[in-house]
Structure 1
Amino acid sequence: MAKIRTGRVGEQIKKELSQLIQTEMKDPRIGFITVTGVDVTNDLSQAKIYLSVLGDDEQKAASLKGLEKASGFLRSELGKRIRLRHVPELIFKFDDSIAYGSHIEKLLTEIVDREEK
């Protein structure tokens, strides 16, 4: 039963957080960010937010710093939008699965091109 609730809370946090980042954040360090996933602990004390950032490593680091500085604002806004007794602590992490998938796709197309020649 608890896993169902944490899943629902995680999906709601993902939805609201992506909307907050796109519309409410005014920090110029934060670039184009996509929230790819949210893992919430069973007691709802922490939420790991997985992000995909468009840009190079320098832009990724700047975006992460900007989000960590704004975590208090994001938690308070989440508390207003999602009615929870305690809003989870937000921990931001990079999700490299999209970049890894595109790298694998590129390698596969190179192999197909070599076989056709």
Structure 2
Amino acid sequence: MESKRQQKMASLLQQELASVLQRDLPHLFGGGMAPGISTVKVTPDLGQARVYLSLLLGGDAEERLATIRDNGKEIRHALAKRIRQTARVVPELIFFHDDSAAYAAHMDGILGTLVIPPAPKDDASDDDDDKPARPRLFN
């Protein structure tokens, strides 16, 4: 369970990192689209931040993630310029690829191909089929 302090810092980092990647450092992506930031998780001491990036659009995800990791110091420096009035220390940024959207699409495809037969009807009952059976409370 994250504390309020961690949640506030994670929210601040998510907003500011999105601005940094889109406005301050667009040259990192060669004119392509900047990645979206899905989630930011901050450690309790606020020393590290795990940044989960959505890299669905814009080419090879692994290559883009490697570019971001290689330029981590530049990203952290640009982030520090933006949050220097708000945060005392800028956490170390660790970038991960968030593939939950791709996984959800994959699972949706699998569930869409399933053939589920209808449930068999019980022929032994003489009750009306229109009304659901009432549970018996007493014997």
TM-score bucket of the superposed structures, by smaller chain: 0.7 to 0.9
Aligned residue in 2 for 1:12: 12
Of Structure 1 and Structure 2, which has the larger fraction of its residues in helix?
Answer: 1
Distance 1:90 1:75, change over 3 A: same
1:20-31 alignment, distance < 5 Å: 20-25=20-25, 26-27=27-28, 28=30, 31=33
- Gap runs ≥5 in structure 2: 118-139
2:49 alignment partner, SS class: strand
Aligned residue in 2 for 1:63: 64
Displacement of 1:10 in angstroms is 0.3
Aligned residue in 1 for 2:36: 34
Bigger shift: 28-37 or 61-70? 28-37
Matched to 1:98, the amino acid is A
Aligned residue in 1 for 2:124: none
Q: Distance in 2 between matches of 1:55 and 1:77?
A: 23
Q: Identify the structure with bigger relative contact order (alpha carbons < 8 Å, sequence gap 6+).
A: 1
Task: Give the TM-score normalised by structure 2.
Answer: 0.70
1:1-117 alignment, distance < 5 Å: 3-25=3-25, 26-27=27-28, 28=30, 31-54=33-56, 59-82=60-83, 83-111=86-114, 114=115
Count of aligned pairs between the two proteins: 112
Of Structure 1 and Structure 2, which has the larger fraction of its residues in strand?
Answer: 1
Q: Distance in 1 between matches of 2:24 and 2:98?
A: 22
Matched to 2:17, the amino acid is L
Distance 1:21 1:35, change over 3 A: same
Rg comparison, structure with higher value? 2
Root-mean-square deviation over aligned CA pairs: 2.4
Q: Distance in 2 between matches of 1:43 and 1:22?
A: 28
Q: Distance in 2 between matches of 1:110 and 1:19?
A: 40
Task: Give the TM-score normalised by structure 1.
Answer: 0.82
